[in-house]
Amino acid sequence: MKIELTKEAEKWFEDEVELEPGSGVHFYGKVYGKTMVHDGFSIAFKIEKPVNPVASTEVNGITYYITAADEWFFARYDLKVDYDSKTDGPVYIFESNED
């Protein structure tokens, strides 16, 4: 399981959420909504420093991560975070990491 952000998504988080180096963005599964692979669940995020992430990536000093509590939600997938100009927000793409 890995996390990747496009340059557009990086810029959105840094500009709109006003992140600075040392910040953390915690992605997690949330009841209600829909993703490409889950009905009844969507992705949410909160700004908090990482504690024992199971997957993470650091961009411009900001750590984007997933914790063990939500490993079930992202299991078998890599998460790609992109930017959607129509909604002016992030879009989450699940890419299978199983062969």
Distant-in-sequence, close-in-space partners of 79: CB < 8 Å, separation ≥ 6: 1, 2, 3, 4, 27, 55, 66, 92, 93, 94, 95
3-state SS, residue 14: helix
User: How confident is the model at residue 42, as a pLDDT?
Assistant: 76
Burial class (CB in 10 A: 0-12, 13-18, 19+), 13: buried
Q: Phi and psi of 69, rounded to 5°?
A: -60, -25
Tokens encoding 8:
């557009």
User: How confident is the model at residue 74, as a pLDDT?
Assistant: 87
User: How confident is the model at residue 98, as a pLDDT?
Assistant: 81
In the predicted model, residues of the chain with pLDDT beneath 50 are none
Length of the chain: 99
Tokens encoding 33:
């909504």
